[in-house]
Amino acid sequence: MADRFNAVLITRDEEKKQSVSFVEIGEDALMEGDVTVAVEATTVNYKDGLAITGKAPVVRRFPMIPGIDFAGTVIRSSHPEWKEGDKVILNGWGVGETHYGAYAGRARVSGDWLVPLPEGLSVHQAMAVGTAGYTAMLCVMALERHGIAPDRGPLVVTGAAGGVGSIAVALLSARGYEVIAATGRTAEESYLKSLGASEIIPREVLSGPAKPLGKERWAGGVDAVGSHTLANVLSMTSYGGAVAACGLAQGLDLPASVAPFILRGISLLGIDSVMAPKALRLEAWRRIAAELDHDKLATITGTIPFGKVIEAAEDIVAGRVRGRLVVEM
């Protein structure tokens, strides 16, 4: 009998009511692809939490195995770039949304979606980074391309105690930026300062309706929250600054004014990690391996067994998860 393995499966009934359960499946149940990977570690991102809880329409095909990230070893490949035994990472590409994802013992995907596990990173560390940390690096790279250097002034990071925020704080501080961390969990002040934040501001400072223009407080920032928070960040960005936007924890809306754009010449940099081209992915992962402090990464990271994935998804949407969670398969 073919090897069988555990998986998380999201289904929906005729009334579109979603349910989630652990099931046992075989490789014959997987979707098409030219590379099969033994999943050794995965993670729980905010997006995974939305998929499992159904709080947002992340899943667009049912049934679905969720999980947008994995790291593991190639066990079969007809793709020219990959061979048995290769260590690989996958982030995004609709995996866990339209194509069976990471929350299973095996994944069959297109080899075009994979990147090599960088030298110096374990599969556990790669998933401690995951899409959240990879997105944080894409934000840092975008700010640098826009010319926002450390001598321009401080940068703000919203949702700073979350996955994207924690790694953004660590990456930016390591690059010499002064980092202001905005969080709804002010009890995490010592944690955020250990990652390199120089100042902590409570979420409430940014979460209400924004003025068209506020006092100039930072040269830019990384925003994983959206809605009023992003509007406030934009209104307080100094002349010629830039903000990298990558999330929607507060909402999809942006109740902002054009004033910061036309009176201060600031830029809003949209960050998409799902369909980012391979060259950008490779550069982001190369820099993560080279620049992210492994001790800080360990501080950010908790580990859970596969059987706790559904519970962790609920916790992350409720804001009860600090930093990153690695799921050991």
Domain ranges of the chain: 4-117+298-328, 130-270
Q: Residue 2: what pLDDT?
A: 56
Q: Is 55 helix (H, G, I), strand (E, B) or coil?
A: coil
> Of 181, 175, 182, which is closest to residue 148 (Cα–Cα)?
175
Class of domain 4-117+298-328: alpha beta
CATH topology of domain 130-270: Rossmann fold (3.40.50)
Q: Residue 1: what pLDDT?
A: 40
Could you give the residue ranges of the DSSP H alpha helices within 175-236?
A: 189-195, 204-207, 227-235
CA distance 232 to 254: 10
> In which residue ranges of the chain is pLDDT below 70?
1-2
Q: Residue 186: what pLDDT?
A: 81
β-strands 106-109, 87-91 pairing: unpaired
Q: Residue 185: what pLDDT?
A: 87
pTM, 2 dp: 0.93
Q: Does residue 221 contact residue 237 with C-beta atoms inside 8 Å?
A: yes
